[in-house]
Structure formats: C-alpha cells, structure tokens
Chains A and B, each alone.
Chain A
C-alpha cells in the first residue's frame, strides 16, 4: 500500500472506520468520498474543524452510524455542527435549462417592465412640471442657492470641454467639406456647410451628448447615494419634497444653461470652421462673415430652440434614475450607466423627431 495517502485515509476496522490526521477545510476536497458506512472512531484525529465535522456528521447521518472517541472539545464542536445541519438532505441544484417558452416569457416580462418604466418616468416628469409650476406661483419656494450651484456645476464648468469639442468639430467639417467641394470648384460653399451643420444640428446635439455624459451621471450618482444613505427619506420626514429640493434645481439649471452652452458651441464651431477655411481654402475672415450673414438665421434658431427640450430630457432621466437606486452599491453603478445611455439615446431620438417636425413644418 502506498504510505503517502494512508496518513489521513480512514482505516477500516471490523466495527467501522478509524479516522486519523487532519479533518479540516483545506483538505476537504481530498477527504470527500473517503468515508464509508459504519461507526466512526475519532481517537486518531489530530485536527478537526467545522468543515471536517460537517463531512463526518453528514456521512454518519446518511448511514445512521455512530461517531465515537471525540475529545471534549471535539464533542462541543460536533454538537454545534449537528444542531446547525439542515433538516433534510440538501437538494441538488440542477443547471437551469431555458426553454423557448421561457424566453418568450422573458421577452414579455421585459416589454411589460419597459412599459411600466416609461409610465413611471412620465409620471415623474409630470411631478417635476407640477413642482415647477408651483415654484412659479410661489417663487419663494425656489431654491436659488442650489439652482446657482448647479448652474455653475453643469453649465459654467462644462464650457471648456464643450467649446473645445465644437471647435474641433468645426475644423473637421471645414476640412472634409473643403475636400469634397473643391472637386466642384465650389469651395466657398463650405461656409454654408459649416454654418448649417453646426448651427442647426451638431453644435447643440453634441453639446447635449457631452452634458448627458457629464451631468446625467452626476445627478444619478449624487441623488442615488443620498437615497442609499436614507437622506431622501430624511427629507420626506422633514416635510420637504425631494423633487422640489433635489430634482427641480438640477433640471432648471440644465434648462437655463444648455442653451447657453449650445450658443458657445455654435460660436466655437464657427470659429474652428472659419480658421480652417482660411488656412485650407484661403477664405478670408471677411468673406466668411459675408457668406455667413447670407445664411438663413432660422438654422441658428432651430438649433438653439431644441436645447431646452434636451435639457429637460437629460435632467429628468438623470434625477429619475438616481431616485431608483436601492440599498446596494451595485444598483448605483448600474443606474448611473443606464442614466447616461438613456439620456443620450433619448436626446438623439428627440433630435430625429425635431428633424421630421421641422421638415414637415417647412422650417
């Protein structure tokens, strides 16, 4: 017999088995399956922990055998483990097989959940509008400090990144446009290209996307962690409305600041485009200005008019997801990322809707 494994293997005796060596968690995998039916003698054990005791006792219970020879300390341990053993043999968990029917069921549930979520966020939006109307009727209830703070946080602090982004987009459009238009000898139309694309679409859309990434996530994280630490409940018990205290200042700050950021983006985009046309096509700033003034001002108005709508979408989604956070840290992360994805998606969806609307209205 190989002596290497005999140290802890149970040795068979006429009455049952005599255990020796360490019966501990670290060796549990090796020990599993070595026990046989019959009474168990523990006198040779050098170490026993709860895992070892569990193994011995589950085996003994299955075969109805006795466990003998425990020291007083081991007896205490065995008793504690025995008292804690589950009542019946534990059921074997089978890997769940997902049937086609269950998949359809899941799709149904998913759709129903999505519809319910849409209903809830619409309800939340209604609540925000109602509080907004309330604060118009009673301006004293408006939280000015909070509003100004969030205007700085979401507006002023976003200016550098928004301006830089728009400046670069202006350069890209001028460069790409010039390349194409030069083939027709229509270089000068690059000004119209820049003006229309930046003022009407890109300036405000990309600003909204950046703000969605910056502020929707910040709103969800801030309100969500307040929710986790029961600060939101504390507000309610003080008779303060979380929508009025937390949500309204944030949404209003975005509502006021996003058009301003959009204007800054427009200016930076034109600046970038203008510089690039000058450098690449030799269109002088004076000429650029003349052509720019020839384009219809409605492009700018259409662009900037979308800003408040985008602001409300971003603010409401960010705050709503924050208020959905539950007790655990994981839900905070999940909802923050959901807020950003939803906000960006909804902004683009709204932009597409506006395009159709303006096309139909002939603007």
Chain B
C-alpha cells in the first residue's frame, strides 16, 4: 500500500559554489499530500524542478512512478504528472481554454470540440466561471490564474500533482478556497500531491505529511502534530511563530 510514487535519493544540486541540495532523500507516497517547507533559498523549487526533469542534478537519482527521470524517455510519464508553477505559468498567447487543451494536444489526438468540452469541464472543476475559458491569462486575476494553472496541470488526469507555492500572493479567502479545492480534487481524482509552500494554513488544511528542508537535506518529516514537537530552532519558530499560532488556532 505504501508505494512511493516519487523517490529522490542522494540528490545534489550545485550552482557555482552554492550547494543547494547535498544528498537529499525524499519520498512521496501514493495518495498522500506532502507539504515541503523551508526558508527561502533552501532549494524547494529546485527540488521540484529536479523531480520533473527540468533541472539536471549533479548527483543522485530521481524516480517517478518507477521511471528514472534522469535517463528515461519521459513522454509517457509526462502524461502522469501535472505541474503547476508559481503564478500559473500560463501561455500568454493562448486563451485559458487553449492552455488547458495544450497538454491534451501534445499527448493525444482528440477532436477539437471534444477537447474543448473536456477543457471546459476541467475549468469548471477548479471553480472557474464558464466565460473564463475564452479569456487570455493577462485578463485574469491572480487567483483565477492559479486556478487556470491548476486546471492545466490536471488536464490529463495525472496521478501526481506538483504544486509550487499555489497560494502565494492570494488573499486569505482565495487561498483557503484553493486549499479546499486541492483537498477535494485530491479525494475525487485520487491524487498524490507534492506541495511546495510557505503557507502554514495550507499545511494545516491539506497536508498529510510535512518535510522541512534545511542545509541541503530533509531535516525532518512527519505530521503537523509531530512538527510542533521538533526542537530545531528554525522548525520551532516556523511552527510556533505568531502566524502559526493564528493558523493552528492555539
């Protein structure tokens, strides 16, 4: 049952003299939502980029669904993961609907109206109004762009969803709606979610397990309750700061 859908072993990433990851191990288990936190510059985004093969690590191995990301042909695997970048990374020259259709175009041959119907379905599932499909990304608000980015990530019904700071820059209401949305979609679509975030509310609302990055490694993993007992100063101040108290309601 405890199958690892993502398995990172001994990951090393260097940029010049700066060592971002130094022998990092991390697992994402099937069906769980893993929250990845860490101070700025601890390589959260680099880790996400390494997992999807955008960043070639200096050492280590990355396996997604049993496929070695560094060496194998990723064409088939790309249909099984969905990535949502910060601020959506929507193609600005395409409408929102065309953005969601883009992964379908790449992977499958579908009739145009069928593709459009499926894209509209995905847009509705992430809570966008029907008229949003015909708009361009620059016409959307930040929250709507994130939802559109999520719809594109979900276009092919992936097994793994990788999210880079999905709630950053959203107002608290939109952020909490987004948390609810991720939790609901994860249930309905049976997703495993790799969630990079700074938002302690998101951790509280959606994550089964939390991994804290520091010093190029995973410092500690565990549930939120376990995090509260960790003695490490950074982890302690993260989960016991004033914002954390407000978010966790104690």
A positions within 8 Å CB-CB of B: 24-26, 28-29, 32, 49-51, 54, 73, 76-77, 79-81, 83-86, 90, 92-93, 326-330
- Is the CB–CB distance between A77 and B188 below 8 Å? yes
Assess whether A327 is in contact with B157, with CB atoms less than 8 Å apart.
Answer: no
Q: Quick check: A81 and B121 within 8 Å, CB to CB?
A: yes
> How close is A83's CB to chain B, nearest CB, in angstroms?
8
Nearest-Cβ distance from residue A311 to partner chain B, whole angstroms: 33
Q: Which of A51, A80, A330 has most B Cβ within 10 Å?
A: A51
Enumerate the 5 nearest inter-chain pairs by beta-carbon distance, A residue then B residue, closest first.
A327-B138, A328-B92, A84-B124, A80-B188, A49-B157
Min CB distance A25 to B, Å, is 6
How does the 8 Å CB contact mask read for B14-40 relative to A, with 1 for contact and 0 for none? Answer: 000000000000000000000000000
B-chain residues with CB within 8 Å of residue A54 when the two chains form the complex: 117-118, 121
Greatest chain B CB density within 10 A among A25, A28, A90, A329 is at A25
Counting CB contacts under 8 A, is B219 at the interface? no
Q: A50-B122, A54-B118, A328-B137 are in contact. Are A80 and B189 (CB under 8 A)?
A: yes
A59 to chain B, nearest CB (A): 13
B144 at the binding interface (Cβ < 8 Å): no
B117 surroundings in chain A (CB, below 8 A)? 54, 90
* Chain A residues positioned under 8 Å from B118 (CB to CB): 25, 28, 50-51, 54
Q: Does B211 contact A (CB under 8 A)?
A: no
Give the contacting residue for A50; candidates B107, B130, B189; CB below 8 A. Answer: B189
B44 to chain A, nearest CB (A): 24
**A32 CB contacts on chain B under 8 angstroms:** 114
- Proximity string of chain B (98-122) to chain A, C-beta cutoff 8 Å, 1 when within and 0 when not: 0000001001111101101110111
- In the assembled complex, the CB of B99 is this many whole angstroms from the nearest CB of chain A, namely 12
B93→A328 contact, CB < 8 A = yes
Is A25's CB under 8 angstroms from B188's CB? no
Within 8 A of A (CB), among B69-120: 92-93, 104, 107-111, 113-114, 116-118, 120
B230 at the interface (CB under 8 A from A): no
The contact of A29 among B109, B120, B130, B137, by CB within 8 Å, is B109
Query: Which A residues are CB-close (under 8 A) to B110?
Result: 28-29
Contact B185 A80 (CB under 8 A): yes
A4 CB, nearest partner CB in chain B, Å: 20
Interface residues of B in 151-210 (CB under 8 A from A): 154, 156-157, 184-185, 187-190
Docked-complex contact B108 and A25, CB < 8 angstroms? yes
Complex CA–CA separation, A86 to B188 (angstroms): 18
Residue of A nearest to B110 (CB): A29
**Complex alpha-carbon distance, A93 and B156, angstroms:** 24
Which residues of B lie under 8 Å from residue A29 when comparing CB positions?
108-111, 114
B46 within 8 A of A: no
Closest to A81 in B: B121
List 13 other contacts, CB 8 Å, given A26-B107, A73-B190, A330-B92.
Answer: A25-B156, A32-B114, A50-B157, A54-B118, A77-B188, A81-B125, A86-B130, A327-B137, A327-B138, A328-B93, A328-B137, A329-B93, A330-B93
> Cβ of B116: which chain A residues have Cβ within 8 Å of it?
93
Measured CA separation A328–B96 after assembly (Å): 13
* Cβ–Cβ contact B187 & A76, under 8 A: yes
In the bound assembly, the distance between CA atoms of A25 and B109 in angstroms comes to 10
Some 30 contacts from A to B, beta carbons below 8 A apart, are A25-B104, A28-B110, A28-B114, A29-B108, A29-B109, A49-B157, A49-B189, A50-B118, A50-B154, A50-B189, A51-B157, A54-B121, A73-B190, A76-B188, A77-B190, A80-B125, A80-B185, A81-B121, A84-B122, A85-B124, A86-B130, A90-B117, A326-B138, A327-B136, A327-B137, A327-B138, A328-B92, A328-B136, A329-B92, A330-B92
CA distance A27 to B138 in the complex (A): 34
Minimum CB–CB distance from A152 to chain B (whole Å) comes to 31
Query: Which residue on chain B has the smallest CB distance to residue A50?
Result: B157
Cα–Cα distance between A70 and B196 once the two chains are bound (Å): 34
Contacting pair A327 B92 (CB below 8 A) = yes
CB contact under 8 A between A24 and B157, given known A73-B190, A90-B117: yes
A216 to B125, CA, bound (A): 46
Contact of A90 among B107, B120, B122, B189 (CB under 8 A): B120
B108/A50 in contact, CB under 8 A:
no
